[in-house]
A and B are shown apart, each in its own frame.
Chain A
Amino acid sequence: MNFKEIAKRCETGPLTESKDFLMKAVAANAMKLTKEYDVSWDGKTFVNTDDEMADRCFQAGKELFTRTGIYSMNSSRVIEFSAEEVDEALRFTPTEVAMGAGKDRVSAHHRQVEDPRKPFVFCGPFNANVHEDMFVRLNEAFGREKIVDCLFFPGYLNEIDGQLVRPTSALATRMAILYGEWSREAVRRAGRPDMPIAGHAVMAPGEIACTNEEWGLRSTDPRAIVLISELQVDDVSMTRLAYYQAYGCPIYMAFTPLIGGYGGNPAGTAVVAVASFIASIMLGGEIVHIGPQHMNYKQQTNQHSLFLASLANQAVARNSNIIATTSHTTSGRPGSAQYAYEFSALALAAVTSGSNVSGPRPAEPLGFNNVSPLMGRLFAEVAHAAAGMTREEAAPIVEALYEKYKDKMDLENAPKGQPFEELYDLATLEPTPEHQAVYDQVKEELIGLGVPLH
């Protein structure tokens, strides 16, 4: 469906209150369909292995979406879609999306459950607060990691010359230009000048300001839009979408289903997640990112989120061509072993369920530059190692890793980690021996648990 038609429906769809949309359309139908299609969670499983339930979850989510549509928050109207329009969009969903250019051109693919093909790795600061002095340096270090396919969200520049930047100010537009310039400079320095950079300058004017084929973000770079939970869009997102569509960027569409929210438990939220995957496709998303949120946790490696990610990804992997990727947000912070235990658990669950990977990042970074390219390498290595593993092989490892961090999921008790400048030698841009030792130790542990990291 073309963008013009969707934009038109934002202005002409049926009027309704936001609360009515969420309660009467989303929550009531999600509860009903979850029960009707017998989608459930037993309270124990970490990684779903029930293919029939994954298929039922997809059918329930698809039916939910045809009942709800998407809510336009600014116009208070529902963007409705017919079942035929949904079927057609799913039929023509691209199974492969190319990004970057020249020798740095790479492609993300739709993956099947237990697919032996390696997942696409989106990795970088993932919207961490990055100080201007360190922005190029730490993104260069991510770019040097050859296993990373796309530099992912190079970081928020929310301060310049000691001045905090209001996101709608003129200074924010200046920061967006620097964001584009410095991101490109970082991958050039890393020897990958045409490496794709998934950009996210947050506000619509900034998105336009950071775009430049020579020095900034390009038409070959995927650009991100985030749906509002659940199944809602706003004018800012639609404005960005209009721009990206016209400019020709691959569209990276993210959504954040809320466990304990309008979908209820992890099973009901998986149904909402499937509806959100479809909503993303209807809006023109080509790579669709699931980033589960939770009422009680800011991170995504709790048991509910692990199960949700496995079930929802399997549902779309088995029943559509959607190119899915899963967000990895942890309690432990870069520099700690727990950070690696957590992203490894989720990567094993997600990759064996048919997803690509995006991340990792701490849910609550400590100050600026709380990132580690070395841990990004390990994240990518685990994701690659998971390709070809069965869910039955992955599940006990996920559970064993969960045992290591389950008592430290609250952010106060989770390891504090360290900033990039303490984890790396800034002269050589190599990890410090201490940080390298954490990587080596966790890698040995993962091999010992059965992750084929060779």
Chain B
Amino acid sequence: MADAERIYEAMKKSIETYDSEAAVAAAEEAVAAGLDLLEAVEKGFANPIRELGESFHRMEIFLPELTMGADAMKAGVEVLEKALDEKGGKIEKKAVVVIGTVEGDIHDIGKSVVATLLHANGYEVHDLGIDLPATRIIEAAESHGADVIALSALLSTTMLYQRDVVELLRNKGLKDKYYVLVGGAPVTQAWADEIGADGYAHDAFEAVQVLDEAVEGRAK
């Protein structure tokens, strides 16, 4: 037990020091010690990365640190996932999310922060990138078996393409299959309502809250 606590502490420290190599080493040690790997994910990586996310929100740390911390977590979790997979287990995800910036819009930062925080909070996230036509977003959602389509737009003009994604989903009879979350500087709750999106978040933290509530609602 003491060994487990020591390893969890090493995992936590790897996140706090943004050290991917240390995260991998600690994860490998957890596997070698025969620890409960699901517990290792939660205590060693998930809790610290959530704390890092909160520090980011309070502006105690900034985007580079959050990105490096998330990279460290990703590297460590990959080790644990591989070991779990070999044993026939897997890490439960809250939901599968595809996320991207819509067509004509090449703004990346806000969308990437949302992707990072969703991943840190237990979502399987597929970041599709920027300037994405509606068809490509929907194809990706289908191929990844997504539950959520998250759409970012930073321009008043390009936010119209969020509507196109929703309309194309309706046209294909897929609208009820996905929870569509929209965000970005010009986007508002009123716009989300107008186009028939399921949720709106004004920042990355709210995106996590909105999806958590949606997932809880689905579970009931």
* Residues on A facing B (Cβ under 8 Å): 18-19, 23, 27-28, 31, 73, 127, 129, 156, 158, 164-168, 172, 202-203, 228-229, 234, 236, 258, 260-265, 268, 295-296, 298, 363-364, 367, 411
Task: Tell me the complex Cα distance, A268–B157, Å.
Answer: 31
Pair A158/B160 contact, Cβ less than 8 Å: yes
Please name all residues of chain A whose beta carbon is closer than 8 Å to the beta carbon of B106 when the two chains form the complex. Answer: 73, 228, 234, 236
Distance between Cα atoms of A384 and B64 in the complex (Å): 39
Instruction: Write the chain B residue with the least CB distance to A268.
Output: B62
| A156, B158: Cα distance in complex, Å | 12
Kindly report which residue of chain B lies nearest to residue A19, judged by CB atoms. B67
A202-B157 in contact (CB<8A): yes
**Assembled-state Cα–Cα distance A28/B103 (Å):** 31
A156-B157, A158-B157 given as contacts; is B59 within 8 A of A168 (CB)?
no
A258: chain B residues within 8 A (beta carbon): 63, 109
Q: Pick from A28, A166, A268: contact of B161, CB below 8 A.
A: A166
Task: Please give, as numbers and ranges, the residues of chain A lying within 8 Å of B17 by CB-CB distance.
Answer: none
Q: Which of A23, A31, A364 contacts B188 (CB 8 A)?
A: A364
Residues in A neighbouring B113, C-beta threshold 8 A = 295
Contact indicator B59/A296 (Cβ below 8 Å): yes
A27 touches B157 (CB 8 A): no
In the complex, A27→B67 CA distance in Å?
11
Q: A260 to B156, Cβ gap below 8 A?
A: no
Q: What's the dominant secondary structure at chain B's contact region? A: loop
Q: Is B9 an interface residue (CB 8 A)?
A: no
Which residues of A have CB within 8 Å of B12?
A: none
Chain B's nearest CB lies how many Å from the CB of A128? 8
Question: Which residues of B are at the interface with A, using a C-beta cutoff of 8 A?
Answer: 56-57, 59, 62-64, 67-68, 103-104, 106-109, 113, 155-158, 160-161, 163-164, 185-186, 188, 190, 202-203
Q: In the complex where A18-B108, A73-B106, A234-B106 touch, is A203 in contact with B63 (Cβ < 8 A)?
A: no
Question: Are the CB atoms of A166 and B57 closer together than 8 Å?
Answer: no
- A258 to B109, alpha carbons, bound, how many Å? 9
How long is the Cα–Cα vector from A261 to B56 in the complex, in angstroms? 10
Shortest Cβ gap from B160 to chain A (Å): 5
A296 touches B203 (CB 8 A): yes
Contact pick for B64, options A129, A172, A236, A262, CB 8 Å = A262
Residues of A within 8 A of B109 (CB): 229, 258, 261
Q: Specify which chain B residues have a CB less than 8 angstroms from the CB of A262 in the assembled complex.
A: 62-64
Indicate if the CB atoms of A298 and B185 lie closer than 8 Å: yes
A-B contact pairs, 24 of them (CB 8 A): A23-B68, A127-B156, A129-B156, A158-B157, A164-B163, A166-B160, A167-B157, A167-B160, A168-B104, A202-B157, A203-B104, A203-B157, A228-B107, A228-B108, A258-B109, A261-B62, A262-B63, A268-B62, A295-B62, A295-B203, A296-B57, A296-B203, A363-B185, A411-B202
Q: How far is the CA of A82 from the CA of B106 in the complex (A)?
A: 28
CB contact under 8 A between A265 and B164, given known A167-B104, A203-B104: no
Q: Give the CA-CA distance A399 to B186 in the complex, in Å.
A: 28
Contact of B63 among A234, A261, A367 (CB under 8 A): A261
Cβ of B69 to closest chain A Cβ, rounded Å: 12
Q: Which 10 A-B pairs have the closest CB atoms?
A: A27-B64, A167-B157, A264-B62, A261-B63, A234-B106, A202-B157, A156-B156, A167-B104, A260-B62, A164-B160
Distance, CA A28 to CA B202, complexed state (A): 28
Distance in angstroms from A429 CB to nearest chain B CB is 25
* Bound: A260/B107 CA distance, A: 16
- In the assembled complex, the Cα of A258 lies from the Cα of B67 at a distance in Å of 15
Residue on B with the closest CB to A263?
B62
Q: How far is the CB of B130 from chain A (nearest CB, A)?
A: 8
Residues in B with CB closer than 8 Å to A31 are 64
Task: Give the Cβ gap from B163 to chain A, nearest Cβ, in Å.
Answer: 7
Q: Which residues of B contact A264 (CB under 8 A)?
A: 62-64
User: What B residues does A19 contact at CB under 8 A?
Assistant: 67
Nearest CB of chain B from residue A237's CB, rounded to whole Å: 9
- Evaluate contact between B185 and A260: CB separation under 8 angstroms: no
Give the shortest distance, in Å, between A235 (CB) and chain B (any CB). Answer: 9
Residues of A within 8 A of B59 (CB): 260, 265, 295-296
Q: How far is B64's CA from A264's CA once the two chains are assembled, in angstroms?
A: 8
Looking across the interface, which residue of chain B has its beta carbon closest to that of A261? B63
Give the nearest-CB partner of B188 in chain A. Answer: A364
Q: Which residues from A are CB-within-8-Å of B64?
A: 23, 27-28, 31, 262, 264
Cβ contact of A165, chosen from B62, B103, B108, B160, cutoff 8 A: B160
